[in-house]
Amino acid sequence: MATSTKTSNDASEAVARALEAYAQRGVFRGFSKIGAKGGKATFRMLWHRDRFFDVILDLRRATIRIPVVLPEVPAQSAMYRSFKEFVNDRQAESLPDHRRIDPEKVAVKYRNTGGEIAITFTVLDGDFEYGAQKLIHLVHEIYLLFLQDGPYYEYMVEHLGLDPDAV
């Protein structure tokens, strides 16, 4: 039992350490651990478009999840199809290692429930710090590459609070 508790604590601390490092570098404008119970820990940060993002660590399932990466994206939309392609492309061997998500280290899943896109990383090798870092990198690229380079200006104005007068 002590080994299991130590492993759980190590994983939770690794995720907290990775997220705290981003907060200290100013990537997030606010960051806190908002709860830990029953093998789960929840962290919250103020991030892209001044939105709160929750990162949920589930040690029993070996997952790190952000339940709402993008809101109000219809499941049958072209945007969601493009989103899935973009996320899948982040695992391409043609990407440099620092940008690539190694499919042998984490399994990437996305789900659209009621128009809210969630991303879940299942950590395959016990490296929760890697999983947390890559999850943050992926969401960052979604906001800075996928949304900015795609035809999603109206979406950002309507659903993410982009001020068209400030652009």
Cα 63 to Cα 107: distance, rounded to the nearest angstrom = 9
pLDDT at 2: 36
pLDDT at 5: 42
Neighbours of 59 (CB within 10 A): 21
Half-sphere exposure of 146 (CA within 13 A, CB side): 22
pLDDT at 141: 96
| pTM for the predicted model, two decimal places | 0.91
Fold classification of 2-159 is: Yope Regulator; Chain: A, (3.30.1460)
Helix (H) or strand (E) run with residue 80 in it: helix 78-89
pLDDT at 36: 82
Phi, psi of 156 (to 5 degrees): -65, -35
pLDDT at 1: 37
pLDDT at 7: 58
| pLDDT tens for the chain, residues 1 to 167 | 333 444 567 889 999 999 999 999 999 888 988 888 888 999 999 999 889 999 999 999 999 999 999 999 999 999 999 999 999 999 999 999 999 999 999 999 999 999 999 999 999 999 999 999 999 999 999 999 999 988 999 999 999 988 888 76
